[in-house]
Amino acid sequence: MNLPFFFRALSYFVMFGTMLLLEKSAPYTESVWQKRFRVAFHLGISIANSVLLYLIITWPLFASLSYSQTNLIGIRHIMGLNGWNEVVATLVVFDLWDYWMHLANHRIGFLWRFHKAHHSDMDLDVTTASRFHIGELVISGLAKSVMIIVWGPSLLGLAVFDIMLTAASQFHHCNVNIPFDMQTTMEKIVVTPRMHRCHHALSKGCLDANFSSILSFWDRLFRSYHLATEKLELEKVGLFKPRGPETMKIRAFLMTPFT
Ligand SMILES: [Zn+2]
């Protein structure tokens, strides 16, 4: 089996199980929908997405990776970055790219049609990290192929970024009751569940804030950071429309971009 795929799958299920256990023993808030149903619904979406992505996106990703490596194309080759320096630089550069991609998902109407399928979740927990419309994943996969040509990462650098991004996403979507003081300290470096819950919240201060995925630094740098100190600000998550049972129905979920 391909090692990067194996470690990515291993990390996904270890984080998924760990967060589920923590959410059960110390939840931040009560779920609107039954947990078992949420796990089945979002895991089903994730498995279907993984198969489709494997069929659609693997080829362009590996074609651009092999092209950039064979011809030594990309900024990192110009900078002469190799070994662990390259892995760390690739992680930071792709995390920055992810910030702008996420911002574009909110700013550009066509992209928002797909991204709102993720935001329509009325709960927030580790399973939300698996709730993405296949259209959004295909578009970001194609954009990533272009980024690979621009930057020229190694396979290891790219694999480390993918694993870290998935683990960070599972962590910052989780519904675990971590003391706010502790999260304030953590938030100086990484995106915390409170910081990302604010991104999904419907309160005034949280709207249009906190787009970072791994490092919280980008939101401070680009002035989109909001520190939610009041629990009230984080109470209501999701969208104003749709709300209710259709947010957890597969047909309605898949049709989100077209409604
Ligand atoms: Zn978003």
Are 228 and 205 in contact by the 8 Å Cβ rule? The answer is: yes
pTM metric for this prediction: 0.93
Secondary structure percentages of the chain, helix, strand, coil, to 5: 70, 0, 30
Cα distances (Å, whole numbers) of residue 232 to 13, 171, 218? 32, 21, 25
Q: pLDDT tens, 226-252?
A: 998 888 999 999 999 989 899 999 999
Cβ–Cβ < 8 Å for 117, 139: no
Question: Cβ distance 76 to 152 under 8 Å?
Answer: yes
> How far, in Å, is the centroid of ligand 1 from the Cα of 234?
15
Q: What is the 4 CA–ligand 1 centroid distance (Å)?
A: 27
CA of 173 to the centre of ligand 1 (A): 11
**Residue 86 Cα to ligand 1 middle (Å):** 28
Position 1 pLDDT exceeds 70? no
Ligand 1 centroid to residue 163 C-alpha, Å: 19
pLDDT (tens digit per residue) in 77-135:
999 999 999 999 999 999 999 999 999 999 999 999 999 999 999 999 999 999 999 99
Q: What is the pLDDT of residues 193-231, one digit of tens each?
A: 999 999 999 998 898 999 999 999 999 999 999 998 888
| H or E segment and range at residue 42 | helix 35-56
Give the distance (Å) from ligand 1 centre to CA of residue 206. 11
Helix axes 83-107, 155-173, angle to 10 degrees: 50
The mean of the pLDDT values for the chain is 95
pLDDT of residue 207: 87
Tell how far the Cα of 83 is from the centroid of ligand 1, in angstroms. 33
Query: How many whole angstroms separate alpha carbon 131 and alpha carbon 70?
Result: 35
Whether 4 has a pLDDT exceeding 90, the answer reads no
In the chain, where the domains are located: 3-258
The Å distance, Cα 191 to ligand 1 centre, comes to: 13
